[in-house]
Amino acid sequence: MTVVGYQTLDEELKRLKTVERPAVIAAIAEARSHGDLSENAEYHAAKERQGWIEGQIAEIEDKIARAQVIDVSKLSGKQVKFGATVSVVDEDTEEEARYQIVGDHEADVKSGRISLSSPLSRAMIGKEVGEVVEVNTPGGVKAYEILKVEWL
């Protein structure tokens, strides 16, 4: 994963542990004070939320423990690989786009970050400027020409 992706996960983990976890514990304590737990909807909702928060914490901790953090700014080369920011042009529409290839959990197409496992990324890996890649999409095969490979 990229350094930015690692920082984002770390911030989310801290938020869950320092804000969400204490809030749900307080909600459970409040709901307990209302008496009979068997018919207490607030209590059951808070317990369910607690389970979700604990699951998120465990999942993020696992991702962080297994992460290989790569500083993209220290990479270079002409070939497309993980971390590269690639400018492409759609050969049919002449529409240009720019994508950074990132880890699965970091992907956000709207901000130009596509997953390493996406069809477009897989097609571009190992290619260089000037090469054309073809990608199978639900609407048919799309061809993109690689215009630029950057390491930002």
**Domain extents for the chain?**
3-66, 72-151
Instruction: State which fold the 72-151 domain adopts.
Output: Chitinase A; domain 3 (3.10.50)
Q: In a 10 Å sphere around its CB, with 0-12 CB exposed, 13-18 middle and 19+ buried, how is residue 11 labelled? A: exposed
Residue with tokens 């095969």: 141
Among positive and negative, which fits the CA dihedral 149, 150, 151, 152?
negative
Q: In a 10 Å sphere around its CB, with 0-12 CB exposed, 13-18 middle and 19+ buried, how is residue 18 labelled? A: exposed
Please write the tens of the pLDDT for every residue from 102-142. 988 888 889 999 999 999 999 999 999 989 999 988 888 99
State the pTM of this model.
0.72
The CA-based angle 56-60-66, given to 5 degrees, is: 150
Instruction: State which fold the 3-66 domain adopts.
Output: Helix Hairpins (1.10.287)
